[in-house]
A and B are shown apart, each in its own frame.
Chain A
Amino acid sequence: MEQVIRIEKVSKIYRTGEVTVEALKEVSLTVAKGEFSAIAGPSGSGKSTLLNIVSGLDKPDGGTVELGGRAMTAMSASDLSDFRRDHIGFIFQSYNLIPVLTVEENIEYVMLLQGVPKKERRERVAKILTEVGLDGMQTRLPIHLSGGQQQRVAVARAIVSRPDIILADEPTANLDSKTADALLDMMQELNAKHGVTFLFSTHDQMIMDHARRLITLRDGRIFSDEVRG
């Protein structure tokens, strides 16, 4: 199976004054293409740090990170931006849409950075809006959408640029259970349909239940790595 993520002995230390916190301790992990995996663990276990390092949002203090076969630790800030733009989709806990852009413009944003032609952008936006159930809402501003709808837009934005992997940090934390369940179903369907790799960071039981692989972190180390049927 083709590996999308490969991290070797990654460590990360945070220093605040004289206090030193070892957030990740020589963590090694691989994620294969098409996986629907979750990293779980209690608060402070290193989930978000691991996700930030995998995505190149933060740099590790030791170890190597490869995404799609490319070593991210050696990339410049600009190259990392381009890499994230072309290969990674993000879904955040608090939706994080750009409030001054409409639904359509938010979804288009990454494609605009990629230089996708206008006609193609519009076609892809229309298609993804149907898939995430937001038809007819393209001209609305995020402020006029519910939390669930905003997160659907975030999913659409993450997937429309056709990334190799989608990293989702607590995507259901601000949603009620019904909306969260619907959103997870939708992401699972996208995973099955488009073969997009999903990697969640969560302590939401619902995500853990949906995940086909559950990696548990504790005190900055992988505690368990369980693959479900």
Chain B
Amino acid sequence: MTLFVKLAWRNLFRNKRRTILAGLMIGLGLAAMITTDAITIGTIDNMIATATASFLGEGQVHRENFRKTFEVEATIVNGPALFEKLKKDPLIRQTAPRTAAFGMITSPANVQSVMLYGIDPTYERDLSKIDDLLVSGGYLATADEPKILLGEKTADLLEVGVGDKIVVTVAQAHTGELSQELFRVGGIFKFGSRQMDGGMAFIPLKRAQEMLKLGNNLHEIAFSFHDKLKSEDKSLPLWGDLSAGGNEALPWTELVSELAMMRSMTDFSLFLVGIILFGIVAVGIINTLFMSLYERMFEFGVMRAVGTRPRQAAQLMVMEAGALSLIAIVMGIVVAIVVNGLLLHYGIDYSGSEFVVTLRDPIYPVLTAKQFTVYPFLLFIFTCLVGLYPAIYAAKLTPAKAMKRGL
């Protein structure tokens, strides 16, 4: 065994240029695989972070079916108590109470329908990024001041700016009677999403509850976890507790199911990319090994003549494939570190682009231990398996024919 390992390793360096080129080709395949995976994870993480940290949260509680009907009276059962409970839950990092209802905003110039959210400025500041995304004016100071935050597109349509007066009209709970109130534009935000910037407005929670005649009831409680992976763990008892009594608690994967679906689709596309890359690598390995075998045909004949078994000849070819993959793995990891190092430094700027969400920050690759252990290991196994083809060919050579062909 040691003899064949020695032979395989030394044979590989008989034609250094070919080995380096073949190693580089296989290594580049590995580097491409690592980088594609890292960027995919980075993109998805970026999208998830954008979606959950902007306003959504990592989970939300509503009254059952509220998200389908948006009926004003469909408030969360024991909403305030549930909110207090969530605040004390050790798993929960932040939570924010909200109301949500369709409303009409009227300015002297125009009228626009919006999804009107009542928010508590203090809790909301920690959970969402509304305050960070203001492009003019200021954030809401208290939970009951008569100020409204408008999206940039809504403000443009209504032809209003900070300090201007507008009238908000909503339908009250149970009676359906219209309730109107005058607000001043306190600030204008820009999420970068047409849907949010042209269809959402925020007023203080207490004002919203009064206008909608909700008492202290809530339509929505958004929350985030200390460990964001917990948000995807549907086996947590928390989800069941929050969903009791006619409520519905959903993680972000169900609130924006397109994002979760996209993530599984990228897993599949990564698998396809892997197959294509490994396919190219396979052709390269087979080509290199056959070239090496044809060059040494006579030598193989001699080795077989002096007593090397067919299986041992095959073993030698597989070991050469394995040795080649080890060199390729080192090269691939070095290339991957360099490429991903540059990408980590500069990022890939897709800010402003809308996929499922609107990306705001540059995409950075996310490097994981799996990329540097599992992928190289798979490459090594794959290379050895691919090496079986020339190995079987070598094993089937009859010594006399091999020596004749080698001449």
Interface residues of A (CB under 8 A from B): 52, 55, 57-59, 77-78, 81-82, 84-86, 90, 92, 96, 98-101, 105, 109-110, 112-114, 157, 161
Contact = CB atoms under 8 A, between A and B. Distances in A.
27 contacts: A55-B305, A57-B398, A57-B399, A57-B400, A57-B403, A58-B400, A59-B398, A78-B309, A78-B311, A81-B307, A84-B305, A84-B306, A84-B307, A85-B308, A90-B306, A96-B298, A99-B14, A100-B10, A109-B3, A110-B306, A110-B307, A112-B3, A113-B307, A113-B308, A113-B312, A157-B306, A161-B307
Contacts of B310: 77-78, 81
Interface of B: 3, 6-7, 10-11, 14, 298-299, 302-312, 398-401, 403
A173 B66 CA distance: 96
Contacts of A98: 7, 299, 302-303
B400 A85 contact: no
Residue among A58, A86, A100, A113 having the largest count of chain B Cβ atoms under 10 Å = A100
Given A78-B309, A81-B312, 18 more contacts: A52-B400, A55-B305, A57-B399, A81-B307, A81-B308, A85-B307, A90-B305, A96-B298, A96-B299, A98-B7, A98-B302, A99-B14, A100-B7, A100-B10, A100-B14, A109-B3, A113-B309, A114-B307
Nearest to B304: A81
Determine which residue in B14, B303, B307 has the highest number of CB atoms from chain A within 10 A of its CB, and name it: B307
Nearest to B302: A96
A100 B302 contact: no
Main secondary structure of the interface of A (DSSP, over half): helix
A82 B310 CA distance: 10
A55 B302 CA distance: 12
Contacts of B311: 78
Contacts of B6: 101, 105
B290 to A, nearest CB: 19
Contacts of B398: 57-59, 77
A96 to B, nearest CB: 4
A57 B406 CA distance: 15
A100 B306 contact: no
B7 A86 contact: no
B11 A86 contact: no
Contact of A57 (B10, B11, B305, B312): B305
Nearest to B407: A94
Contacts of B306: 84-85, 90, 109-110, 113, 157
A86 B400 contact: no
A100 B304 contact: no
Nearest to A95: B302
A117 B295 CA distance: 32
Nearest to B298: A96
A2 to B, nearest CB: 23
Contact of A100 (B11, B305, B308, B399): B11
A226 to B, nearest CB: 28
A92 B302 contact: yes
Contacts of A100: 7, 10-11, 14
Contacts of A105: 3, 6
Contacts of A113: 306-309, 312
Nearest to A94: B298
A165 B185 CA distance: 105
Contacts of B7: 98, 100-101
A84 B11 CA distance: 24
What 9 A-B pairs come out closest when comparing CB atoms?
A85-B307, A100-B10, A58-B400, A57-B400, A96-B302, A57-B399, A81-B309, A52-B400, A84-B307
A182 B10 CA distance: 33
Nearest to A141: B10
Contacts of B298: 96
A96 B304 CA distance: 12
A157 B6 CA distance: 18
Q: Among B6, B304, B400, find the residue whose CB has the most chain A CB atoms closer than 10 A.
A: B400
B118 to A, nearest CB: 79
Nearest to B7: A100
B305 A82 contact: no
Contacts of A78: 309-311
Nearest to A108: B3
A154 to B, nearest CB: 10
A195 to B, nearest CB: 21
